[in-house]
């Protein structure tokens, strides 16, 4: 059975570019020119990933995501935005969208993130191996599904296996933000930076929190980091 991807964007040329990029990887790609059309597609097909444009006429991507969660559609979403819109990004995070890309998208980045999300949500083995990477992947999957308690368990186990993982500490910061605990988020981002001052995802997240707290907005996108 082919893996189905839904592209939701009001611009035909953008949808075409995304379609070409993803079909070369063997995905079966569907399109929706509006949020209303996307909701209809969700009724007719089972999608592995939905690529949602943040800014669309009528119901925008964030409103669509909220509606999806309201009616029980748990399809993992990748959010595409034309500019950094941190308050909206934080709302999207809390709805389980932790994968963001900014326009203009590079084809290789679109392919990489979609592939990662598909792999993240593939059916689990009955007895999966207890490895650091398996716990990181599981934590991201739980964040998508808003299973915060399970995400925390997997992150604890990941850090038990690798006490100096910058990715695990950064994800712990993401979880804290999703739970509105900004102080704890800063602590975890800070620990990641202490371990590796060049780890850009944590640096970016820390700068964004600082700017958001002090200026009410930020030029920094949300950065999950890792792969």
227: in domain: no
Count of beta carbons in the 10 Å neighbourhood of residue 49: 25
222: in domain: no
Final residue in a domain of this structure, among 85, 120, 155? 120
* Domain count for the chain: 2
156: in domain: yes
Position 210 scores a pLDDT of 82
pLDDT band at 93; cut points 50, 70, 90: confident
64: in domain: yes
* Domain that includes residue 152, residue range: 132-215
Q: What is the CATH number of the domain that holds 91?
A: 3.40.50.2300
99: in domain: yes
The arrangement of strands across the sheet holding 49-53 comes to 28-32, 4-8, 49-53, 77-81, 99-102
Residues 6+ apart with CB under 8 A from 63: 35
Q: What is the CATH number of the domain that holds 152?
A: 1.25.40.10
Q: Looking at the structure, tell me whether residues 18 and 92 fall in a common domain.
A: yes
221: in domain: no
Final residue in a domain of this structure, among 120, 144, 179? 120
pLDDT at 179 exceeding the cut of 90: yes
Tell me the C-alpha to C-alpha distance, in Å, between residue 63 and each of 15, 53, 58, 92.
19, 11, 9, 9
Q: Looking at the structure, tell me whether residues 112 and 172 fall in a common domain.
A: no
126: in domain: no
Question: Greater confidence, 67 or 217?
Answer: 67
Question: Greater confidence, 195 or 224?
Answer: 195
pLDDT band at 227; cut points 50, 70, 90: very low
**Rounded average pLDDT over 123-133:** 79
> Which range is least confidently modeled, 17-31, 41-55, 195-209?
195-209
Q: Looking at the structure, tell me whether residues 158 and 74 fall in a common domain.
A: no
Q: Looking at the structure, tell me whether residues 137 and 113 fall in a common domain.
A: no
pLDDT at 40 exceeding the cut of 50: yes
225: in domain: no
Whole-model pTM? Answer: 0.83
Q: Looking at the structure, tell me whether residues 28 and 62 fall in a common domain.
A: yes
**Average pLDDT taken over every residue of the chain:** 89
Q: Looking at the structure, tell me whether residues 77 and 144 fall in a common domain.
A: no
| Helix (H) or strand (E) run with residue 163 in it | none
Q: Looking at the structure, tell me whether residues 113 and 169 fall in a common domain.
A: no
Cis? peptide before 104, omega within 30° of 0: yes
Final residue in a domain of this structure, among 59, 88, 120? 120
């Amino acid at each position: 059975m082919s893996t189905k991807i839904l592209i939701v964007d009001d611009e035909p040329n953008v949808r075409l570019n995304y379609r070409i990029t993803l079909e070369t990887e063997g995905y079966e790609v569907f399109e929706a020119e509006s949020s209303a059309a996307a909701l209809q597609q969700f009724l007719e097909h089972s999608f592995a990933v939905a690529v949602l444009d943040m800014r669309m006429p009528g119901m925008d991507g964030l409103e669509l995501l909220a509606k999806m969660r309201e009616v029980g559609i748990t399809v993992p979403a990748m959010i595409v935005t034309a500019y950094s819109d941190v308050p909206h990004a934080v709302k999207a995070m809390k709805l389980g969208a932790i994968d963001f890309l900014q326009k203009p998208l590079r084809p290789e980045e679109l392919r990489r993130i979609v592939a990662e999300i598909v792999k993240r949500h593939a059916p689990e083995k009955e007895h999966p191996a207890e490895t650091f990477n398996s716990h990181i992947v599981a934590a991201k999957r739980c964040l998508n599904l808003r299973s915060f308690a399970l995400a925390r368990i997997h992150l604890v186990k990941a850090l038990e296996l690798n006490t100096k993982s910058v990715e695990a500490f950064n994800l712990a910061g993401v979880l804290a933000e999703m739970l509105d605990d900004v102080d704890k988020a800063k602590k975890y981002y800070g620990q990641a930076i202490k371990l590796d001052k060049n780890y850009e995802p944590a640096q970016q997240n820390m700068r964004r929190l600082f700017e958001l707290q002090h200026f009410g907005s930020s030029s920094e996108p949300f950065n999950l980091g890792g792969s």
